[in-house]
Structure 1
Amino acid sequence: MANPIVKPFWDKPTGSWQYVFHDANTMKGAIIDPVLDFDPLSGATSTANAERLLSYVKETGIEVVWILDTHPHADHFSSAAWLSEKLGAPTGIGAKVTGVQELWKGIYNLPDDFPTDGSQWDRLFEEGDTFMVGDVPVKVMFSPGHTLASISYVAGDAAFVHDTLMMPDSGSSRADFPGGSSKQLYDSIQAILALPDSTRVFVGHDYAPDGRDEACEATIADHKASNIHFKNNPSEQEYRTLRDARDQTLALPKLMLAALQINIRGGRLPKEEGNGRSYLKLPMNYFSPR
């Protein structure tokens, strides 16, 4: 079994980590959770982040064979569709994305012809699916809780766990978005912590508490020893009490209501209207302020 070379890319405005991993033997690789830049004041999208990834794979000589999302993100737009067009690589996400599409189709009151069958991606992964990136085996783990569609990709000794675990000094991610569940999140994290202790865990976000530098990687052993939410091996109820109380104090991500409209479309803007422009909708008074 080959283990991947992992290159992280930091997006400071959204606190997001994007990844390119590849097999050194075959130079085949995959991109995980790429960011499409968005300026909410002007409504403008741009591809600076995606172009950084594109430059890296071209300069390194990586043949990208997959562009992968872990879930429809609430705090940044996905550039999976743009990169797929540039690289000719297929896109993938977890099969339960259809439930997220149905949920947010209702919240946004999208037209009846908006597809909620996941057809915006080339492949919908099921629990336990496996595929190869060169000589690196990749296994799909369903990891619901943060969202109902969240999955993790375990590529050799590297686990890309999206917004399920944070870095050990931040604990775990919130579970109060529509479709989220602290019970499911606890179960998902227990499954991740059951991976071998040497597994490298790559997170989706980091907010650098206490002024430290941003970080993206820790081992399973690190999380067992020092993750602030799991080092004392809490019971499900203890964890849920802590997680739910914390979530009640958190505001919605600034880009959430914009981002979900893009990300349930696989990273595409809404269909252009009669004047040739795309528009985002804002559901008024749906979410209560905190």
Structure 2
Amino acid sequence: MTSIIRKSPSTGKKSPDVWGIYEKDTGSVQYIVADPATKKASLIDVVQNFDPRSARSSYESADEVLKLARDNELTIEWVLDTHPHADHLMASHYLKEKTGAPNAIGEKTCAIAKLWSDYYNVSGLFDPRKDFEHLFGEGDSFKIGDLEVEVWLSPGHTLGSITYIVGDAAFVHDTFMYPDSGTSRADFPGGSSKELWDSLQRILSLPDNTRLFVGHDYGKGGREAQWEATVAQHKKLNVHLSGSVKEEEYRKVRDERDATLALPDRMLHALQVNLRAGKLPPTENDGEHYFKIPANKF
């Protein structure tokens, strides 16, 4: 497969190299973030390919990301996700097996698992404490090579979304979009435009030169996919936040827009996989995997 791949090079000491790999089927951006000094790296929000028409899954995107890491002589230290995605299946478990690196997500994924256990009417199927080696909380930190990574809880899109801040790079997932596309939806179960506003404002408190790497882009107006802009660029150009926009005005626009949006076509498949770190539902007595899809719930 051929993806759009761009490198955002380190800007100096304590600044990572970042590769963005665009997955066009879902408009998702996958990331490799690396310490230039040690060549140690982490993978963030890598996609497991899925065709909702045939319910067939595969790992072309994940293998492409792994090849890019090998080509740049990087050693993978972490497999990271920012939240249980609704629009694509994650490749966390697969990458953990391929690299031997621990996989991680936010600790409030446990609350999301409880919420979706009720929607799917299943008990005991989702156990993030078992399927992820690390569950990060607000203020936690860890290292990629010699680079310090800070974890922020950034709810709104989901109740458990987290942001990874690595020097002058922040992986802000489904909070911001590219400036010409504004911000992400907040209407999924557990989402909140109020919490999203608070998360956006906190991220905008980072230094103006911080590179913000978003989770999705859909090529607005036919332009090529884009996913990187600085805090300063978002303050000046983001169509939902620039100028003197107040919380009430933002939330009105966000809520009215969200009310018009359909569910992502992979959502009801994705959540039951992503709450298991990308593992398909357990095999049944014929050795096959089967999805459980709630009818008339949404």
TM range (shorter): over 0.9
Q: 1:84-107: per-residue Cα shift (whole Å, max 9, x none)? A: 100000001011000110000110
Residue 203 of structure 1 corresponds to which residue in structure 2? 214
Note if 1:180 corresponds to 2:191.
yes
The aligned amino acid for 1:44 is R
Residue 297 of structure 2 corresponds to which residue in structure 1? 286
2:83 to 71, 74, 93: 71
Q: 1:44-92: per-residue Cα shift (whole Å, max 9, x none)? A: 1111000001111112111100000000000000001101100000001
User: Is the 1:19–1:32 contact (alpha carbons within 8 Å) kept by the matching residues of 2?
Assistant: yes
Residue 62 of structure 2 corresponds to which residue in structure 1? 50
Q: Over aligned residue pairs, what C-alpha RMSD do you find?
A: 0.9
Q: Cα offset for 1:233?
A: 3.1
1:85 and 1:123 map into 2 onto residues whose CA distance is: 15
SS in 2 for 1:52: helix
Q: Cα offset for 1:211?
A: 1.0
User: Is the 1:174–1:243 contact (alpha carbons within 8 Å) kept by the matching residues of 2?
Assistant: yes
1:89 to 96, 101, 105: 101
Q: 1:10-39: per-residue Cα shift (whole Å, max 9, x none)? A: 000100000001011000000000000011
State the number of aligned residues: 286
SS in 2 for 1:172: coil
User: Is the 2:176–2:183 contact (alpha carbons within 8 Å) kept by the matching residues of 1?
Assistant: yes
Q: Cα offset for 1:234?
A: 1.7
Residue 275 of structure 2 corresponds to which residue in structure 1? 264
2:274 and 2:224 map into 1 onto residues whose CA distance is: 29
Q: Cα offset for 1:42?
A: 1.7
The aligned amino acid for 2:88 is H
User: Is the 1:176–1:244 contact (alpha carbons within 8 Å) kept by the matching residues of 2?
Assistant: yes
Residue 192 of structure 1 corresponds to which residue in structure 2? 203
Query: 5+ residue gaps in structure 2?
Result: 1-12
Note if 1:8 corresponds to 2:26.
no
1:25 and 1:123 map into 2 onto residues whose CA distance is: 25
1:227 and 1:51 map into 2 onto residues whose CA distance is: 33
User: TM-score normalised to the size of structure 1?
Assistant: 0.97
2:267 and 2:141 map into 1 onto residues whose CA distance is: 31
2:135 and 2:174 map into 1 onto residues whose CA distance is: 19
- Which region of structure 1 is more displaced relative to structure 2, 156-165 or 230-239? 230-239
User: Is the 2:76–2:99 contact (alpha carbons within 8 Å) kept by the matching residues of 1?
Assistant: yes
Note if 1:62 corresponds to 2:74.
yes
Query: 5+ residue gaps in structure 1?
Result: none
Q: How does 1:137-176 map to 2 (within 5 A)?
A: 137-176=148-187
1:113 and 1:94 map into 2 onto residues whose CA distance is: 19
1:17 to 6, 10, 29: 29
The aligned amino acid for 1:17 is V
Q: How does 1:127-142 map to 2 (within 5 A)?
A: 127-142=138-153
Q: 1:101-130: per-residue Cα shift (whole Å, max 9, x none)? A: 0000110011x3324453210000010111
- Which region of structure 1 is more displaced relative to structure 2, 55-64 or 159-168? 55-64
The aligned amino acid for 2:152 is M
User: Is the 1:97–1:118 contact (alpha carbons within 8 Å) kept by the matching residues of 2?
Assistant: no
User: Is the 1:16–1:205 contact (alpha carbons within 8 Å) kept by the matching residues of 2?
Assistant: yes
Residue 29 of structure 1 corresponds to which residue in structure 2? 41
